[in-house]
A and B are shown apart, each in its own frame.
Chain A
Amino acid sequence: MATTKLKINGKEHAVDVDPSTPLLWVLRDHLNLVGTKYGCGVASCGACVVHLEGEAVRSCVTKVSRAAGKEVVTIEGLSENGDHPLQQAWEQVDVPQCGYCQSGQIMSAAVLLREIPNPTDEEIDLAMTGNICRCGTYLRIRKAIHLAAEIQNEIK
């Protein structure tokens, strides 16, 4: 055990865990930030995507030691009032079915939208291929990302 200092969603935390513990389980078990989901544990489904220094990472294979002292953003901190363009778009398009994978989908999409403000279908597919939705909401995810791009452009 060792104390690791973390900055998550702008808030400082100190957790006393084995430094090899994946960030996912620190978020979920120790910090009660359960919006980040466990799906596979092997970086294959995308349910656990969070932002580490602004980049989308699979928290299930990211050791907490790697996140020490860096900025981590989870779905809970994506926006202050739950109104990130993606969150608005997801609501308007009514994307989710079971909803379990959607935090990870939104977190992956957020990096895409930052890098490519007006992504094409192909760019969306490429960026979102790492996120499985077992309910099959991929078409709505695509639609919501396009809508979020519009909302984002209006804000700017």
Chain B
Amino acid sequence: MTLVKTTLNRRSFLRAALLAGGGMVLSFSWMAGCKPSGRKALEMPEEWFELNSYIKIGENGVISLSSPNPEFGQNVKTSMPMILAEELDVDWDNVVVEQADFLPDRFKNQFTGGSQAIRSNWTPLRTVGATARQMLILAAAKHWNVPATEITTEPGILLHKASGKQASYGEMASAASQIPIPEEVELKKVSDFKIIGTSKKNVDVKNIVNGKPLFSLDYKTEGMLTAMIVHPPAFGMQLKSIDDSAAITMPGIQSIFTIDTLTGDIDQNFFDATSFTKMAVVVGNSTWEVMQAKKALKIAWEEEPERVFRRSASWMQGSEIIKATFPPGLESTDDHLAKMAEFTKKPGQILRRDGDPEGAFKKASKIIERTYTAPFLAHNTMEPVNCFAHVTAEKAELYGPLQAPEYINATLSQRLGLPKDKIHIKLARMGGGFGLRAYGHHLIEAAVISQQVKAPVKLVYTREDEMTAGLYRPAYSATYRAALDENNQLIAFHVKGGGIPEMPVAPHRFPAGAIDNYLAEGWSITSNITTGIFRAPRSNFMACAEQSFLDELAAEMGKDPIDFRLELLERAKTAPVGENNDYQADRYAGVLRLARDKSNWNETKQGIHRGVSAYFCHNSYVAEVVDLVMKNGTPKVEKVVAAIDCGIVVNKDAAVNMAEGAIVDGIGNALFGEMPFKDGAPQKNNFPSYRMIRANEAPKEIDVHFVGSETDPTGMGEPPFAPVFAAVANALYKATGTRFYNQPFINGLTTG
């Protein structure tokens, strides 16, 4: 058992009574149509007793658990309550789950992103669960007049073995809710876990398969209007004038106007990234009517001068405000590629140097140099951007898909002129996130529109609006060089990587630490095309470039690609080079070995071309082996074996589901994903032109294996995504004899 202090977040233990007086009760009313859990019908209690912000217990023993973080398909709405239920020691079938609103006084870390939801809430949630259990024990001890240390629990039941006394949690809930919060509580031993590590079904699965209104796009309230925006058709353009004479007379149209969402005096948060702040707005009675009026608008656009704004220097709350700019001009992919090629030739910013890389390259017998590129990618969440907002003189109510609510409420407060505690954000289930929903510009847009029309409003983007609205995965390029001596041994390694607009190199990651002479450099190019985090930011490119290069290097050295990586990892483990290596070589090697074993790597099969890749990001290690076949010149990934070390797996089958999805997503983006530009305009705006992986292109089999571990959980949403790009590239090489250096790979194939 582990003893932990419960003072981690005193405020999260606020009682219901305090809360009711705190003005945090929301006036939303959709809960009636949206049952907290669809798993099974439990008899609801007559009275709930709140033990803390996360846990309520009914007099009948039914347990209500709040899931604090926004849900976008990663299944935290199930896995987070599983952690609470484990330490509380209750029967999972007796649990109902509620999605928490954004209430920073009540809940910690209400952020979904960076694969950190479980990692950052692991100990806090366990502590919350254990604290409530201890309060039940203390209540029983008082009631039975026995020492608390003699009381044990079985799921939902308190027991005093010596006297034979027992009571259900429901019976003790009222008394427990009056118990002072203990200073210190015990956490379970990993080996005693009964819920964590099992597979529990998605608590919303029934609602999903019955088409229940789970998403904010499904939300409707009395008097609600529909709003749509028209943003500039190209980056570097802005709104000049608008002629709404035809549109305003169209049926169902209420008003047409322009907004400026982020006026220059607003201090933007890191996640306030937004492409267009000045937009035309059409408000009307129904979606289709507004869509038609939008098409009838005549808007003149003009080139935008340099845009200057104020934003936080980093994602850290309270970091300094800096001046930021978007350069003027209309950019094109051809220019981007030329510019990136130029930068790869110039010296970059030195990020890490071990030994004497320059000297080693000078005396090398052979130098292998390869350059890799990747284009901008659109997130393409299936649910387009939308948000409900109702802003009055007193308060603002918002309901929308959002990964990072804590990063938007300060901006909303400034823009709306309302104190932060008068802005209530409800967290909608998101129809996909992938990083896009970290940025809350749609909340500001919806709120500004609602404030203007003085009515509840639902802002809806069309697919075209969303796909052309920016916040793309940045475009990247990286050049790798390896120096081999006369014995064909690796003596130096050099990576120089950059992007538009960010530098993707993680200088302390593998193979840093495994090579005596090592150099990492970086560069970046500014742009007015907006970018944002995208599933496994930077890693989604660097893993591809690095693991493709290592594959080619192994071939040059006449080594098996897995053996070659294991040799490097052995070196990094036994005699690490340099400081700050940010990975554990044995865990890295562990997933490679597991993937090798589970895939029968050494077996060859007629017509099956295999590629391997392994990467460490978001604190987890993943190795993947891809089996690829060519059918009429078209590649098809038939099978993938994945070996994952993410520490303790909370919800096994959900984690497998996420790994499967990440792999399918990665294969799709590697083969097909790209957003090209011409004169500032995105060249794809909907699925007929933006190719997405489809059912017939998904593997037949994905075999996911976890390294058994008692280490605290680490990332799961992103780590299985990053390595698959290179595994596909390496398999494609085997299939075609051609190396694939530029994403998407389909462009390098003659058919497809």
Residues of A that sit less than 8 Å from B by CB: 1, 17-18, 21-22, 25, 28-30, 32-42, 44-45, 47, 74-76, 82, 86-87, 90-91, 94-103, 106, 121, 124-126, 128-142
Contact = CB atoms under 8 A, between A and B. Distances in A.
A28 B287 contact: yes
Contact of A136 (B209, B214, B661): B661
B218 interface: yes
A99 B204 contact: yes
5 contacts: A22-B288, A42-B463, A131-B694, A133-B695, A134-B432
B383 A129 contact: no
Nearest to B458: A29
A109 to B, nearest CB: 10
A140 B288 contact: no
A136 B668 contact: yes
Contact of B209 (A74, A102, A137): A102
Contact of B431 (A18, A99, A139): A99
B212 A132 contact: no
Contacts of A135: 73, 382, 432, 661, 665
B206 A96 contact: no
Contacts of B287: 25, 28-29, 38
The 9 residue pairs across chains A and B that have the minimum distance between CB atoms = A35-B211, A136-B664, A100-B431, A98-B73, A97-B73, A75-B211, A136-B661, A138-B698, A99-B208
B688 interface: yes
B688 A98 contact: no
Nearest to A102: B208
Contacts of B658: 97
A40 B381 contact: no
Contact of A140 (B289, B432, B660): B660
B432 A32 contact: no
B205 interface: yes
Given A34-B220, A74-B211, A98-B381, 8 more contacts: A45-B687, A82-B209, A96-B73, A98-B72, A129-B695, A134-B381, A136-B661, A139-B660
Contacts of B289: 18
A44 B688 CA distance: 6
B693 A76 contact: no
B251 A99 contact: no
A50 B701 CA distance: 29
A41 B291 CA distance: 11
Given A75-B210, A134-B432, A126 B220 contact: no
A39 B382 contact: yes
Interface of B: 72-75, 199, 201-202, 204-206, 208-215, 217-218, 220, 226, 251, 286-289, 291, 380-384, 429-434, 462-464, 653-654, 657-658, 660-665, 668, 686-688, 692-696, 698-702
B698 A98 contact: no
Main secondary structure of the interface of B (DSSP, over half): loop
Contacts of A102: 208-209
A32 B220 contact: yes
Contacts of A134: 380-382, 432, 434, 665, 692
Contacts of A36: 211
B463 A82 contact: no
- Most B CB contacts (10 A, CB to CB) among A38, A86, A134, A138 go to A134
B664 A138 contact: yes
Nearest to B383: A100
Contact of A41 (B204, B209, B463): B463
A95 B664 CA distance: 14
- Most A CB contacts (10 A, CB to CB) among B202, B211, B693 go to B211
Contact of A139 (B72, B383, B701): B701
Contacts of B695: 124-125, 128-129, 131, 133, 138, 141-142
B113 to A, nearest CB: 15
A95 B220 CA distance: 27
A142 B700 CA distance: 9
A42 B664 contact: no
Nearest to A128: B695
- Most A CB contacts (10 A, CB to CB) among B73, B654, B658 go to B73
Contacts of B687: 39-40, 42, 44-45, 132
A29 to B, nearest CB: 4
B694 A25 contact: no
Contacts of B212: 35
A95 B217 CA distance: 22
A29 B686 contact: no
Contacts of A98: 72-73, 381-383, 429-433
A100 B699 contact: no
- Most B CB contacts (10 A, CB to CB) among A17, A36, A87, A98 go to A98
Nearest to B467: A40
B499 to A, nearest CB: 24
Contacts of B380: 134
Nearest to A130: B694
Nearest to A96: B208
Nearest to B386: A38
Contacts of B208: 90, 96, 99, 102-103
A133 to B, nearest CB: 7
B307 to A, nearest CB: 30
A96 B78 CA distance: 13
Nearest to B662: A136
Contacts of A30: 286
A95 B653 CA distance: 10
A136 B384 CA distance: 17
Contacts of A47: 382
B288 to A, nearest CB: 4
A142 B251 CA distance: 44
Nearest to B460: A38
A97 B430 contact: no
Contacts of B693: 136, 138
A91 B205 contact: yes
A133 B382 contact: yes
Contacts of A100: 215, 381-383, 431-432
Nearest to B663: A136
A136 B202 contact: no
Nearest to B286: A29
B75 A97 contact: yes
A102 B383 CA distance: 12
Nearest to B692: A132
A103 B382 CA distance: 12
B67 to A, nearest CB: 15
A138 B668 CA distance: 12
Given A28-B287, A100-B432, A40 B686 contact: yes
A1 to B, nearest CB: 7
